[in-house]
Amino acid sequence: MFVRLLESFLSNVTTTLYKGVIKISDKKNKVVLIGMPGSGKTTLGKLLSKRLNYNFLDMDEYIEEIANKSIKKIFDDDGEKVFRNLETKACKDIVDRKKLVISSGGGVIKKSINIEILKKDCIVVFVDRPIENIINQLSLDEINSRPLLKGKKDTIYSLYEKRYELYKSACDIQVKNDKSLSNTINEIVNLLGKRLEG
């Protein structure tokens, strides 16, 4: 019963706050997860999509599909600016879809247009994982595979400091990912439910 009410809430009327302005939308049937690389967005997104009976989309995988090359190769061949433009295109492409949980890239908040697009049609959830947990979780191979980390753990601290307030200001819901996956999913669902009650 609760999940049906939640789905109705997400697909009908939602109250959001962005730059101090409350907006009402009848198209918010999508949830997008934002947060640092290694914060658990993809894992949580897949679990949340099953819980809500929504489809799941990994934004980085979508970008690789439309660019026909890996994220690393996009950065190596074309540079970050091209990647960020592809990221904005991905945001525009996916907002027309229905019943979707989206795992975004860690830097999606770097361009304000991305947040404007996503907040218009999505509920934005900041997956806030402690930086030490992120570093302990990421393997050396994972760090090396992420272009902006450049194989250095110190870079993660620097990105965290630069982006944390951007994540907070962009989100509708902030959830700490420092518990079990099931507890974190339950907390996200409960916070979505509180928006329904409010």
Q: Is residue 97 part of a domain?
A: yes
What band does 17 get if pLDDT is binned at 50, 70 and 90?
very low
What band does 184 get if pLDDT is binned at 50, 70 and 90?
very high
What band does 82 get if pLDDT is binned at 50, 70 and 90?
very high
Tell whether 129 is in a known binding site. Answer: no
Q: Is residue 192 part of a domain?
A: no
Q: Which strand (E) or helix (H) includes residue 111?
A: none
Q: Is residue 152 part of a domain?
A: yes
Tell whether 146 is in a known binding site. Answer: yes
Tell whether 15 is in a known binding site. Answer: no
What is the per-residue pLDDT across 118-158, written as a single tens digit (0 to 9) for each?
Answer: 998 899 999 999 988 888 776 544 555 555 555 456 778 88
pLDDT(159) > 90: no
pLDDT(30) > 70: yes
CB-CB neighbours of 105 under 10 Å:
23
Q: How many domains does the chain have?
A: 1
Single out the residue of 8, 2, 5, 25 nearest to residue 124, CA to CA.
25
Tell whether 104 is in a known binding site. Answer: no
Q: Is residue 185 part of a domain?
A: no
Mean pLDDT, range 173-196, rounded to an integer: 89
Detail the DSSP E strand segments found in 19-67. Answer: 21-25, 30-34, 55-58
Mean pLDDT, range 81-91, rounded to an integer: 96
- The domain of 91 spans 9-176
Q: Is residue 195 part of a domain?
A: no
CATH of the domain at 157: 3.40.50.300
| 95 Rama class: left (phi>0) / alpha (psi -120 to 50) / beta | alpha
d(C-alpha 181, C-alpha 62), whole Å:
24
Report whether 149 contacts 135 (CB < 8 A): no
Tell whether 20 is in a known binding site. Answer: no
Q: Is residue 14 part of a domain?
A: yes
Q: Which strand (E) or helix (H) includes residue 128?
A: strand 122-128
Q: Is residue 3 part of a domain?
A: no
Tell whether 40 is in a known binding site. Answer: yes
Tell whether 163 is in a known binding site. Answer: yes
| Res 154: pLDDT | 72
Q: Is residue 190 part of a domain?
A: no
